[in-house]
C-alpha cells in the first residue's frame, strides 16, 4: 500500500519532469495534487513537510512566470517566501540558504524591491558553506549594481 507521503513524492517528481519538458499544464496539475497531500501531512508534522511545500510554491511561481501570469507567480512566490522564513526561524543553519535563494529569486525574476537583498545578506550570516555564500553574494552584488545605459 502506498502512503500519502509516497503519493505526494511521486506526484511532485512527475510534476518536475513535466515542468522540465515545458508541459506546464500537466506540471501545474501534478504540483497542486502533491501540494494538497503535503499540506495534509504538514498538519501532523509541519517541519518535515514545509520545505517540500515551499519548493512546490517556488516551482509554481516559476511556471506562472513562464506563462506570463505575474500576479499568480508573485502569489506563489510570496507563499514560498513565508514558508522559508518560518523554516529559517526554526533552524537558521539548516534553512538560511533556502531563504536567501528565495529572496534573491524574487528580485531577480519577479522584480521585487532590491531592499530584500539586504535581508538575504543578513540571512547568509547563518550559513557555514563559504563557497555557496560567495556565489550568492556575487549575485546580490550584480542585482544591486546600477544599470548602465549606453
What residues have CB less than 8 Å from 111, skipping those under 6 apart?
A: none
Residue 99, C-alpha cell as written in the block: 531563504
Read off the pLDDT band of 146 (50, 70, 90).
Answer: low
Residue pair 81/107 in contact by the 8 Å Cβ criterion:
no
Using the structure block, give the residue that is written with the C-alpha cell 512527475.
Answer: 14
What average pLDDT score do residues 114-118 get?
90
Does 39 have pLDDT greater than 70? yes
Does 47 have pLDDT greater than 50? yes
Fold of 1-83: 1.25.40
Rounded to 5°, angle at Cα 21 from 19 and 25:
50
Using the structure block, give the residue that is written with the C-alpha cell 531563504.
Answer: 99
Instruction: Please state, in angstroms and as integers, the Cα–Cα distance from residue 32 to each residue in 25, 118, 130, following that order.
Output: 11, 32, 35
Does 145 have pLDDT greater than 80? no
Read off the pLDDT band of 150 (50, 70, 90).
Answer: very low
Amino acid at each position: 500500500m502506498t502512503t500519502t507521503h509516497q503519493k505526494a513524492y511521486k506526484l511532485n517528481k512527475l510534476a518536475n519532469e513535466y515542468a522540465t519538458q515545458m508541459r506546464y499544464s500537466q506540471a501545474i496539475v501534478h504540483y497542486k495534487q502533491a501540494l494538497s497531500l503535503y499540506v495534509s501531512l504538514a498538519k501532523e508534522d509541519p517541519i518535515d513537510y514545509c520545505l517540500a511545500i515551499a519548493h512546490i510554491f517556488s516551482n509554481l511561481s516559476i511556471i506562472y512566470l513562464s506563462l506570463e501570469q505575474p500576479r499568480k507567480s508573485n502569489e506563489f512566490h510570496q507563499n514560498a517566501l513565508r514558508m522559508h522564513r518560518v523554516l529559517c526561524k526554526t533552524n537558521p543553519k539548516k534553512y538560511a540558504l533556502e531563504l536567501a535563494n528565495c529572496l534573491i529569486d524574487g528580485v531577480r525574476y519577479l522584480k521585487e524591491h532590491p531592499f530584500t537583498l539586504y535581508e538575504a545578506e543578513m540571512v547568509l550570516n547563518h550559513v557555514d558553506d563559504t563557497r555557496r555564500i560567495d556565489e550568492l553574494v556575487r549575485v546580490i552584488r550584480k542585482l544591486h549594481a546600477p544599470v548602465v545605459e549606453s
